[in-house]
Each structure stands twice: as structure tokens, then as C-alpha cells.
Amino acid sequence: MAEMTLGVLIFGMLATATVASTNGANCESELCCYVQQMSRHCMSKSSAQKFMDLERSVSAVSETVTEDRYGKRKQQESCCKDVDVLKFEIEQLKDLLTWYKASNGKFYKVFKEWANFTTAMARCAQEGARLAVDGIRNTDTRSEIENLIKAGDDSTWIGLNDVNDEGLWRWNDDVVADMKQVRWLKYQPDDHKGQEDCGHYWKMVGWFVNDAPCEHLMNFICEKN
């Protein structure tokens, strides 16, 4: 269903681009504001609904430009969102479909790009996200997130560390970790040789959480609203 909606949406987008390029016209101020508001509003909806809303936005732009062809053009304003901007937003929504929406309403994705802990944090930030926190410390969603990690088939960084205060483990949103709620491997964390300050799910020991040197390279899982 999502693929069919996307196909219709892209067709509408291309048709709009053709009309716009033919007439050199922008949309009306009132409509422009509507499209902008619609784009922001739909970010809180399901992926399928987002595509439907953007499809309506593209259609609205197309209808306005078509009206301009028949001499009904009204005063224009620079606030108009053109088809290129809508296309960019559609690409963003297409990317969102590659993320898993958990029962807590947040989105998760395992990146199979071997990275150290610092790089993993930076990569999540580039995605408008952070290393996974809520989905792991919340016992209601933990199994969902762990299944994603296991599907990645390699050890995976999560948003947990004691870099700033040895022995005091914090989630990356600065919440102190309840150690009893973390599925630590037996006898962990042990800060082996005083060099292990970052938390990860360890494949070779049955997917328990372990502390490791932050410079080790592995998968990472990001979380965003």
C-alpha cells in the first residue's frame, strides 16, 4: 500500500513540476502557508498518512498553477514552497520508512557501519537521532529493540556509558542507569584494564550488555521521535 501511494505521489509531483516549469508560476500565499503547515503537521502521523498528506499538498500546488494558466493568477509571495522542496520532504519520508516504529512511538534503525562510540553518536545526530536509550531501558519495548539488534547480526553500541564518572553509568540523555534494569552479562560491567566505558550488546555472549573500550568498532542503533 505504501509503495502504491508513493508511486501516485511521485507521479503527481512530476506532473506538478512539468506544469510549473511551463508557466514559471508560483503558488498563492494562502496555499503556500497551507502546504508548509501540512508538511509540519504530517510529521506526527504514520508513514502512510504522511504520504497521503503530501500527495494532497502536491495536488493543491498543481491545481493552483493550472488556474494561473487561465488568467486567474493572484498576488504571489516568496513564501511559496516549490515542488523541489516537496520532493526533498518526500525523500525524507521515504527514508523514514526504513526505520522501525516501536510501540513507544519512537523510530529505530540499526546502522551496519562499523564505528567507534563517538562516531556512532555523531552519525545518529546526523540522522536527527541519538544512540538508543528509551527503547532499551523501557522493559515494555526492550524486546522489540533487541530483536532489531539481533537482526543486525553483530555487536551494537547503545546510548550507555560511564565516560565522565567511572562506575556511574548514564544513558546518553544524562539519566543515571538503574543497573538492575540493564541486561548486563554476568560479572559485567568490570572496566577490564580500566579501559571499558561504553555499553554495547555483545553478539558472541548471547546478546547481553557489556562494557567495552569506546574505540572499538561495531554496529550502532539510533533512536528518534
pLDDT along the chain (225 residues), means of 10: 43 42 43 49 53 64 54 51 73 85 96 97 97 95 97 98 96 95 95 96 97 98 97
Q: Do 115 and 216 belong to one domain?
A: yes
Using an 8 Å Cβ cutoff, are 196 and 189 in contact? yes
User: Model confidence over 143-173: pLDDT tens digits?
Assistant: 999 999 999 999 999 999 999 999 999 999 9
Choose the final residue of a domain: 81, 96, 111: 96
Choose the final residue of a domain: 42, 66, 96: 96
Cα–Cα distance, 104 to 117 (Å, whole number): 25
Q: Do 133 and 73 belong to one domain?
A: no
Cα–Cα distance, 129 to 146 (Å, whole number): 18
Q: Do 191 and 110 belong to one domain?
A: yes
Number of domains in the chain: 2
Choose the final residue of a domain: 70, 96, 122: 96
Using an 8 Å Cβ cutoff, are 158 and 206 in contact? no
Q: Do 184 and 112 belong to one domain?
A: yes
CATH code: domain of residue 192: 3.10.100.10
Q: Do 58 and 120 belong to one domain?
A: no
